[in-house]
Amino acid sequence: MPPRPRPSLAAALAAALVAALLVLLPGSTTAQAAPVLLSQGRPATASSTEGAGTPASAAVDGDNGTRWSSQFADPQWIQVDLGATAQLSQVVLRWETAHARAYRIELSTDGSNWTTAHSTTAGTGGVQTLDITGTARHVRVYGTERATAWGYSLWEFQVYGTTGTGPTLPGGGDLGPNVIVFDPSTPGIQARLDQVFQQQESAQFGSGRYQFLFKPGTYNGLNAQIGFYTSISGLGLSPDDTTINGDVTVDAGWFNGNATQNFWRSAENLALNPVNGTDRWAVSQAAPFRRMHVKGGLNLAPNGYGWASGGYIADSKIDGQVGNYSQQQWYTRDSSIGGWSNGVWNQVFSGTQGAPAQGFPNPPYTTLDTTPVSREKPFLYLDGSEYKVFVPAKRVNARGTSWGNGTAPQGSSIPLSQFYVVRPGASAATINQAVTQGLHLLFTPGVYHVDRTIQVNRPGTVVLGLGLATIVPDNGVTAMKVGDVDGVRLAGFLIDAGPVNSPSLLEIGPAGTTTDHAADPTTVQDVFIRVGGAGPGRATVGMVVNNHDTIVDHTWIWRADHGDGVGWETNRSDYGFRVNGDDVLATGLFVEHFNKYDVQWNGERGRTIFFQNEKAYDAPNQAAIQNGSIKGYAAYQVADSVDVHEGWGLGSYCYYNVDPTIRQEHGFQAPVRPGVRFHDLLVVSLGGNGQYEHVINGTGAPTSGTSTVPSTIVSFP
């Protein structure tokens, strides 16, 4: 696959400026409408077409792989009917090679009488973002001079503006009964924490969802035990604004001291002074520990040192030592720690001050000095008495926390008044109306069934969940799709497959896009995907990333191996995570149990820092997983067409408990060429239930026996 062309510097700067302006809407007490995409899917006509395969409609279908092209003559035009008069603000033209040197953007209210909103005789082709003003229902690109011998050809013709019609959804408002807000004077805090924990401690597939929010200040003598679907956060701009003299605890008493099922919970933006000097956070997948300051040590093991299968720390400061103990794997990013002890199979660090030195496989430490690109998760905070969402800035080659040292955090703030506060019972149509209207989305704790896809097509849109808000697609739809736009932030929610097969559960960008988003990428953070467990669920693919430059920062994409609705065909899902975009970075990638490939990477220059995988437990026999002549599907496959790819700290485990005689050819599969490189790979047979014959391709020693000793490769090729 050849490198994709990059836009001009001017175009990139213009795109970044537009995205920034869309995010940084002025604060007010009422919702402010923002420009939205009005032209997609609307009727389009043209003066001519080159052939049946390049109709006018192809330029407004949202697909960068289809196009309109005209006959080879001047002049030519294409126009779109927006369906209603709108206040227009921007036109984006995505030209194919056959572009216009001279053209006009023309506006009309009736489709007959036209006025000029923009004119040029020096069109450069590529992606051109044009700011315009005017009121119109019809918009036309009128070409008067071609830049090539061919006709005029547009991949996409996008018109942005506001309609100002129909009822306006309000921004801001009450966060609902399952967002529980404390200040230091609130009576009965411990009793309320205990009440929710008793309900949620073992409710692994229950419907309860809770968010605890602590206003800035100091809280004494608390032990916040955190159960399933429970999040605890401080409301300061810095973790040190909200101090708990006490603990935020996860243990595994509910599961007889085994922490391997302590999923779906989180702690963020707090400072802790643990009672005995060490806080306990014994978790496994989907349990992020973000933006925390522990003024002591942190114990990642359950009481009794039973198994745990975590986990993830980011943007946090632990003054004392982190005790890993029985944790099979862990990833720590852009943090500061006082030390690290132990390690079972796979401990990965990037941008972490105080991290242990590189030592894989013995000790099992993979250590990168910096993280290539990162941007912290958006979070809710209080500015005086006003709720806002802080949107952190992108960091390049980051090391250490984004906060502290007396410096103000880098990023921007969005008032809650510019969010549609989504409450249980909201329909997908209403949610989409809110985005179209120009609002961001804040999902309050709850379970949301959607009968159509949530479309996030506006640059800079923030979609933030509280309390592991859960979206369930009905009737086989894709739960959420992000458009080919800059700067979307998805964070803090769970997508749970419905009983009717969905082609995918989350899609980032349309297929075939060529747009560069490096200046302001989409980020996907603490967004979790589940197929089965809470009931029968089916999806062909869990998450698909088409947009270039996307950052996927901590996800768990899980085809359930236990719970309700679980079986080889009952919760069928062939692929977990598929990357088609170029320059995609995954930091903290957990993908497990899919029927075929857990990860398929088709884009160029992809990078993964930390990968954890288990192959599907429930394969009935060898034939069920046979991949042509290959025994089993790799956990992580890089397409043969890829020239450049790199991964650090990747592990795959097998536990074929239905048929322990199954043989897995390898955990990893990739083309052998200089640009495709892996560092610190391992495969493990759990108790001898199935075995790997190699680590990657035909390289690496086979696993054997029941001792769970990994087979490792330090460098490939």
Q: What angle do CA 615, 620, 625 make, to 5 degrees?
A: 55
Q: What is the pLDDT of residue 112?
A: 82
Pairing mode, if any, of strands 462-473 and 440-443?
Answer: parallel
Closest listed residue to residue 326, CA positions, set 264, 251, 230: 251
Summarize the chain as % helix, strand, coil (round to 5): 10, 45, 50
**565 neighbors 532 (Cβ within 8 angstroms):** yes
**192 neighbors 438 (Cβ within 8 angstroms):** no
Mean pLDDT of the chain: 93
- The answer for residues whose C-beta is within 8 angstroms of residue 233's C-beta and 6 or more apart is 211, 212, 213, 214, 266, 267, 268, 269, 270, 379, 380
pLDDT above 70 as % of the chain: 95
Q: What is the pLDDT of residue 164?
A: 59
pLDDT at 8 over 80: no
Pick the catalytic residue from 614, 646, 665, 693.
614
Rg (CA), the chain: 26
| Phi–psi pair at 533, nearest 5 degrees | 105, -55
Q: What is the pLDDT of residue 166?
A: 54
Q: 614 an active-site residue? A: yes
pLDDT at 352 over 50: yes
Closest listed residue to residue 576, CA positions, set 543, 545, 552: 543
Tokens of 282: 């014994």
pLDDT above 90 as % of the chain: 88
Q: Which residues pair with 677 in a beta bridge?
A: 646
- What pLDDT, in 10s, does the model give residues 355-367? 999 999 999 999 9
Tokens of 433: 């109306």
Q: How far is CA 191 from CA 194, 197, 222, 223, in A?
A: 5, 10, 10, 10
Q: Which residues pair with 139 in a beta bridge?
A: 80, 107
Q: What is the pLDDT of residue 30?
A: 37
Q: How far is CA 410 from CA 292, 413, 530, 572, in A?
A: 17, 10, 33, 43
Phi-psi region at 21: left, alpha or beta (left = phi > 0; alpha = psi -120 to 50): alpha
pLDDT band at 373 (very low <50, low <70, confident <90, very high): very high
Q: What is the pLDDT of residue 7?
A: 39
pLDDT at 238 over 50: yes
When mean pLDDT is compared across 9-18, 181-190, 380-389, the lowest value belongs to: 9-18
pLDDT band at 24 (very low <50, low <70, confident <90, very high): very low
Tokens of 644: 């450049």
pLDDT at 624 over 70: yes
- How far apart CA 200 and CA 428 sit, in angstroms, is 28
Tokens of 365: 């430490």
Q: SS3 for 570?
A: coil
Phi-psi region at 532: left, alpha or beta (left = phi > 0; alpha = psi -120 to 50): left
Return the number of other C-beta atoms located less than 10 Å from residue 479's C-beta: 26
Q: For the chain, what is the total number of helices (H) and then of strands (E)?
A: 3, 54
Q: What is the pLDDT of residue 1?
A: 36
- How far apart CA 282 and CA 297 sit, in angstroms, is 13
- What pLDDT, in 10s, does the model give residues 27-65? 333 344 567 899 998 889 999 999 999 999 999 988 888
- What pLDDT, in 10s, does the model give residues 84-139? 778 899 999 999 999 999 999 999 887 888 889 999 999 999 999 999 988 889 99
Return the number of other C-beta atoms located less than 10 Å from residue 652's C-beta: 28
pLDDT at 165 over 70: no
| Phi–psi pair at 255, nearest 5 degrees | -120, 35
The average pLDDT across 692-710 equals: 95
Closest listed residue to residue 390, CA positions, set 438, 443, 440: 440
- Which stretch of DSSP H or E encloses residue 313? strand 312-314
- Which stretch of DSSP H or E encloses residue 616? none
**692 neighbors 711 (Cβ within 8 angstroms):** yes
Tokens of 563: 């719970």
- How far apart CA 242 and CA 500 sit, in angstroms, is 44
**498 neighbors 534 (Cβ within 8 angstroms):** no
Q: SS3 for 83?
A: strand
Q: What is the pLDDT of residue 29?
A: 34
pLDDT at 216 over 80: yes
First to last CA, the chain: 20
Return the number of other C-beta atoms located less than 10 Å from residue 42's C-beta: 16
- What pLDDT, in 10s, does the model give residues 520-551? 999 999 999 999 999 999 999 999 999 999 99
When mean pLDDT is compared across 25-29, 114-118, 469-473, 636-640, the lowest value belongs to: 25-29
Closest listed residue to residue 408, CA positions, set 393, 418, 396: 393
> Which one-letter amino acid corresponds to residue 610?
F
When mean pLDDT is compared across 138-152, 154-168, 197-211, 494-508, the lowest value belongs to: 154-168
**328 neighbors 306 (Cβ within 8 angstroms):** no
Which contacts qualify for 565-570: CB closer than 8 Å, 24 or more apart?
Answer: 565/499, 565/532, 565/533, 565/534, 565/535, 565/536, 565/537, 566/532, 566/533, 566/618, 567/618, 568/595, 568/616, 568/618, 568/619, 568/620, 568/624, 570/532, 570/536
Give the burial class of 336: count Cβ atoms within 10 A of its Cβ; 0-12 exposed, 13-18 middle, 19 or more buried: buried
The average pLDDT across 369-386 equals: 97
Pairing mode, if any, of strands 394-398 and 371-375?
Answer: antiparallel
pLDDT at 479 over 50: yes
- How far apart CA 598 and CA 561 sit, in angstroms, is 14
- How far apart CA 225 and CA 346 sit, in angstroms, is 27
